[in-house]
A and B are shown apart, each in its own frame.
Chain A
């Protein structure tokens, strides 16, 4: 292993198909038209000196170091800003150029601290490199004149330091913030010699900086430097792996010193992120070695007993004996398991295999139950497959982008940046969301329409959009005739054309002016390539599945499916939620989304697994909890999920957990669910194991072990131990063998192997004989199910209504700096951006209740009550309040209810009728829970226990 240094070609690649041949230093090279001379030289292996150029940014031409000579041209043009021409003859090294370059370097170095030996960038500094490349041997100007050597450091950001004294004002950081991230937080302040990089006249922390790290990545000197590098020094080797945060699935280089991570650097060849990152993946990885990591297995008879640390053998043996005892007493279906969307494909596959083959039932579920299960149902019903239709790069071909119930710049920030880039290029944006998310109006981006719907009215909205398209003659008739089932299409067209679906008729339901809705429909139907991106604001409703089908209808009726730039794209929440679903984590499906009742499918698994499988569906998570309360479900194995914080109606969740006789929690921290556990198995972070994650674009990427498992076993090994103790043998020596089994049994994964992923970098399923390199865009030429099926999508209002007692509607969501239940990000410096969950409330609703900014308020629903502080903002509309669910002390899900999607039981997180009032104390639930938490997290002193 060595430190991976990616080739920097200086300028971005040209997309042109036309090829140009030129000559550089006497060597012929053929490159796409539009390529810079600098990049053409780099393609030949010739490095033209440079400072302000890097291939993640458009050329700028300011450093004057990359000058070249071109036959027939006057002067010495900058190679970064000069495009190639046919027959061009370029010289990159002449005496004249050498003299010019040394002169430029002299000027730079005359205003740069000469502390290379003690500089954090020593050995990784482009300025240092270029001084050597141009042969700088003296600085004739001395260092006594005006300079910036006393410029101060900005250490306000917890993750990086800005040392202005080392800045060469190349503008790479400013351009990265603009071009790559799209935040425009940085600028060059002042003129001439006084020019300086500035985060808008304040410090980084107070600025609009989102800490994505693009500026740090782009900096050629030590001006912007990761604090971990300043503290630890340079890394000595790198390992390519995949981020364990959101569903974008960014590729990263874990830069290491031995088994210590020095920094995480976004991988330029990562096809999901193309070298970009967000604050979580780039910087918030310290949780992996946090002092609260649990490293020893523990058991206890009752949850009120203190934990007792034991050996792996004893913990596994105890768990297995308890599951066996429970099944003997209460029946085979009295236990089950939950797979983790934070764990690898191989690990989720093993957990569902343990449940199906080891427990002998189908009681397995995953966190997608509470996020994108309606996506699976809706897209499968209409298109024939349970996944998004495009790759992320497809957005760069979109002309109209419809974002529904998603907040990409917070929840999927790297993709959000790509989307903003396309919008800055001129694509039109329609946002349908009850909140004014940042994307509605952000620097150089403004939505053509913000359809600020009332929570719970999604289906009325999507029907009205379709109604306008159908009744105004905007249907893609040829596409529909060729690609969709005629009978279903005709019936749906009659249904949707009914006046009750018109924008005017539903205006009172949606709150969206009919004229805006009609204009948005026309834009979507006629604006060119139109793409839908959606999130949990679509799925987490009582009609989540209906809404997904409604969006599929919209894409089909306008022909916006089956090519680049269009499609219906779920933005998945957790890093491997797509993979967890693919791997058979749902109680009704075996891997590859095949129903358990299919005899042929079941037989194929039975043959390999050497066991008889059940043919009827198992329990979903909420059904498991219901059954637990009823006394028929008594034991559960939960790998890497925290349902006592993440799932709705926590009172019911914890009642279900408390009613069980054996709860086994496998996690890296003693999470909230562990308060109700009898066995705790220490988990392994993504840095401690090999495997694969599958992101929201169906991309399977490698997760590679960077350090040994801190607790001794990777999660897949712990599952094997448990399965073997249960009496169902598992014997894999490496996760690649698990993937080989997955490929053997799953047609859409038939061509997937670790060798192929290594070869291609990543693979988008389906990957099989028909598509040996994977499938970036689905449904080209035909749908997976054959003909597309229009579904009838009648609007059925949720039963959850605002009333005199609960007059406001609560909706929940995420924030950029925190991730899901916050177990990881709360244990990093990210807390400086989000110390606690706040309740967003409209000024009108706040004033009516006498609430001012920062007041403690109680939020009460029919399910429960919690207290948190108020944030007054008109981002939410009057009548709607909003909060995040990242902190267990706040426990937003005490308030959310048990209402759920009709088809999948995905909870209705987005619509809860609540009342808000001033308070000066925690809620009764919070007090009780704090006491419970204190009691249930005690660990017995091993010495005392031994006496």
Chain B
């Protein structure tokens, strides 16, 4: 799936959870992705993180890595 859309969606999720303490925020983002994102979307965001994660909110790469 087009990474621009995935990046924007992931960043929006991170913007919400960033109000929580760091570890809780990362867990919140990770859980949200796991609960609501379809596998090909997860593959897309993981792939983007694996390639440097350009444009992502600071919390997203860590949250995505937790999925693995």
Contact = CB atoms under 8 A, between A and B. Distances in A.
Interface of A: 333, 362-363, 495, 542-543, 545-546, 587-588, 595, 597, 616-620, 623, 626-627, 629-630, 632, 792-794, 796, 898, 900, 902-905
A588 B36 contact: yes
18 contacts: A333-B38, A543-B16, A587-B38, A588-B35, A588-B36, A617-B36, A619-B38, A619-B41, A620-B38, A623-B1, A623-B38, A626-B2, A626-B5, A627-B40, A629-B2, A792-B19, A902-B15, A903-B13
A796 B38 contact: no
A632 B38 contact: no
Chain A contact residues, majority secondary structure: loop
B16 A902 contact: yes
B37 to A, nearest CB: 7
A903 B35 contact: no
B20 A630 contact: no
A618 B40 CA distance: 9
Given A617-B35, A618-B38, 19 more contacts: A333-B38, A333-B40, A542-B12, A587-B38, A595-B35, A597-B35, A619-B41, A623-B1, A623-B38, A626-B1, A626-B2, A626-B5, A630-B1, A630-B2, A792-B19, A794-B16, A794-B18, A903-B13, A903-B16
Contact of B40 (A632, A900, A903): A632
B39 interface: yes
Contact of B1 (A545, A595, A627, A792): A627
A903 B32 contact: yes
A363 B38 contact: yes
A659 to B, nearest CB: 13
Contacts of A616: 38-39
Given A619-B38, A630-B1, A792 B12 contact: no
Contacts of A898: 5
A719 to B, nearest CB: 23
Nearest to A901: B12
A630 B44 CA distance: 12
A506 to B, nearest CB: 16
B9 interface: yes
A617 B37 contact: yes
Contact of A902 (B12, B37, B40): B12
Interface in B17-43: 18-20, 32, 34-41
A794 to B, nearest CB: 4
A255 to B, nearest CB: 46
The interface centre, meaning the residue of B12, B19, B20, B32 with most chain A CB atoms within 10 A of its CB, is B12
Residue among A587, A902, A905 with the highest chain B CB neighbour number at 10 A: A902
Contacts of A903: 13, 16, 32, 36
Contact of A794 (B1, B2, B5, B19): B19
Nearest to B16: A902
Given A623-B41, A792-B19, A903-B13, A632 B1 contact: yes
A632 B38 CA distance: 12
Nearest to B40: A632
Nearest to A898: B5
Nearest to B19: A794
A905 B1 CA distance: 15
Contacts of B35: 588, 595, 597, 617
Residue among B1, B16, B35 facing the most chain A CB atoms (10 A cut-off): B16
Contacts of A546: 16
Contacts of A617: 35-38
A542 B5 CA distance: 14
